[in-house]
Amino acid sequence: MKINIINGPNLNLLGKREPSVYGNKSFDLFFNDLKVRFSSIDLECFQSNIEGEIIDHIHQIGFSSDGIVLNAAAYTHTSIGIADAIKSINSPVVEVHISNTFSREDFRHHSFITPNAKGLILGFGLESYALAIQSFIK
């Protein structure tokens, strides 16, 4: 089983960025933990700060991946391009957020991703990613 994690802008700074919201752990360290926890799954992770690169990556993996865990970060609230990319592929997408976006600013309450996602997991810190992976395991 192949699961692809896609992280959007500023998530390369996890561990350094607003630790009171996003925690102290870098995604690289957390990803190592995930690979141990889900050792039977072929897990891959891609991060970009550039909207078009995220769209290109969705096109590349979206017809072969068994599941995409997508944290589009700030593009969640702005990107019709990423929303359309999700509509265009066959692989199921679970939207993930580290923070509870509904307990934050109003502009974080709207997501262009959710209508086209299989489901949404948010507010559990980095553990949101593990819950999303778990959701793909039958």
Q: Does 101 bind ligand DQA (CB under 6 A)?
A: yes
Task: Say how many Å lie between the first and final Cα of the chain, rounded.
Answer: 11
The window from 28-36, 44-52, 58-66, 73-81 that contacts ligand DQA (CB under 6 A) reads 73-81
Q: Does 47 bind ligand DQA (CB under 6 A)?
A: no
The window from 34-42, 50-58, 82-90, 95-103 that contacts ligand DQA (CB under 6 A) reads 95-103
Closest CA to 100 of 27, 21, 26: 21
Could you give the residue numbers annotated as active site? 22, 97
Strands 67-71, 119-122: pairing is: unpaired
Q: What are phi and psi of 79, to 5 degrees?
A: -100, 105
Q: Which residues bind ligand DQA (CB under 6 A)?
A: 10, 71, 73-74, 76, 97-99, 101, 108
